[in-house]
Chain A
Amino acid sequence: MMNFSLTDTQILQWDSIVEFSRRELNAEIRGNDQQGHFPMENWKKCADMGLLSLLTPEAYGGLGEDLLSTAHSIEALSYGCEDSGLVHAIVTQLCCIVLLNLYGSESQKEQFLGKLSTGESIAAQSITEPDAGSDVLSMRTRVDGVGEAYSLSGGKVFISNGPLADLVIVFAKSSAGKSAFGDISCFLIEKNAAGYSMGKPLEKMGLRTLQNCEMFFDEVCVPAQMMLGKNGHGMFIFNEAIEWERALMTAAHLGTMERVLEKSVNYVKTRKQFGKEIGKNQAIANKIGTMKVNLELGKLILYKMAWLKDQGKRATLEASLGKLFVSENLKSACLDAIQIHGGYGYMQEYDVERDLRDSVAATIYSGTSEMQRNIIARMLGL
């Protein structure tokens, strides 16, 4: 039976993360956003706070939390921290930790989980290619060889955390086929691997503190022990990864949505026009009401998704429902927040415009909204 009531520990954790985020993470965001600068000092503070070790088993030095508790913590982080790029970088790190924990060999876990959980090492997932976005099976990065070592060649694009990554989880194909079985495998590549290089950080519309880049693999030699999971199981690893990613990204989006709602409510209660608070106008109040409805519905689908995963069940449909609903409504909420704030909302000084720029990507990465609708339709038998 589903039960989403929060424990005392979860409530304390929420308060503690929100207080920490507001106190430690919100300085210099505007400047960092303009310069596309990643706040490494804040990354380290988040690591010290335990935010990178939420999903790492206790045996490897982590907190060993379940997805529901972790999602709640990420919501709190994104509610308190106004740097969505930093939050995205943390979620990316958590997703890599999940993959290592689910599919890594004992020696891979020993080698990497500790450093990733303390933030000493940074990880990236390398999946998207110039001609293979949502159509993952069309990827061209090739892996050849069997036995002791593999050779990996190709290129990836838009990789989050890429420019900073010490460890890259790379998906590559062994043939030109498009079967879910056997064609794709997954590898761990360290930043000093011969033949591996990256482009300079990409300039983006939003999430500008998050670092993204292209990656190039020129006959990179990968020892067999650096394969993640089983040979040919890349598609299944990808399917599992994307469910976790959509859950954690949805949690981050909900935290932002709650912050934007709160900021908008505070503004409409104090801003007066024609002798009354603008929140007394139905046109404004209705926008606020819609934000609240979407926030609460989004939380329910997120918690169901997380609960399913914590039961060891699959959540393909729920992950798409949540990702689609929350990312689209985050974008709408940010646009409404600007309208509510009027001319001030359009100015950088109020920071609402940055939330809007940051929110646009949410409907694109981890599967576009159009793809989510296709997946939902397929899951319904269409």
Chain B
Amino acid sequence: MQDDTKLIAFIKTDLARGKTSGSLSATDDLIETEILDSLGIMKLILFLENNYSVKISDDDLTPENFSSINSINSLLERKRAGEGTK
């Protein structure tokens, strides 16, 4: 199971700052709430690649993979299990 403490901290303090009323759950929709805007998604990809030793490919760039903290974690687990690990 992926330790998502660092990921949650990044999303809360960097991407979601000023965009939510405070709490952010693992199932909250990051796209609908515009936490992941056009620059936010680039920042998130950079964060994941730099901190989890994965390469996010074009095929990974689907709403399903980035819609919530849970879905990002699932993506990371799949990547680290062997799909496209650096």
Enumerate chain A interface residues (CB-CB to B < 8 A): 136-137, 178-182, 229-230, 233, 235-236, 238-239, 312-314, 316, 375, 378-379, 381
Contact = CB atoms under 8 A, between A and B. Distances in A.
Contacts of A312: 55
B58 to A, nearest CB: 7
Contact of A236 (B32, B39, B58): B58
Nearest to A136: B38
A236 B61 contact: yes
Interface stretch (B19-27, B42-50, B73-81): B42-50
Given A233-B61, A236-B58, A236-B61, A181 B66 contact: yes
Contacts of B42: 239, 314, 316
Chain A interface helix/strand/loop/mixed: loop
Given A312-B55, A314-B45, 17 more contacts: A136-B38, A137-B37, A137-B38, A178-B34, A181-B62, A181-B63, A182-B63, A233-B61, A236-B61, A314-B46, A316-B39, A316-B43, A378-B39, A378-B43, A379-B39, A381-B13, A381-B14
Contacts of B62: 181
Contacts, number: 54
Nearest to A235: B38
Contacts of A181: 31, 36, 41, 61-63, 66
Contact of B39 (A230, A233, A375): A375
Contact of A314 (B17, B40, B49, B66): B49
Contacts of A381: 13-14, 17
B36 A180 contact: yes
Interface residues of B, number: 23
Ranked nearest first, the 5 interchain pairs of A and B with the lowest CB-CB distance are A181-B63, A180-B41, A180-B38, A381-B14, A316-B42
Contacts of B55: 312
B81 to A, nearest CB: 22
Interface string B46-86: 10010000010010011100100000000000000000000
Contacts of B37: 137, 178, 180
30 contacts: A136-B38, A137-B38, A178-B34, A178-B37, A179-B32, A179-B63, A180-B31, A180-B36, A180-B40, A180-B41, A181-B31, A181-B36, A181-B41, A181-B61, A181-B62, A181-B63, A229-B58, A235-B38, A236-B41, A236-B61, A239-B38, A313-B49, A314-B45, A314-B46, A316-B42, A316-B43, A316-B46, A378-B43, A379-B43, A381-B13
Nearest to B39: A378
Contacts of A230: 58
A47 to B, nearest CB: 30
Nearest to A239: B42
A314 B42 CA distance: 9
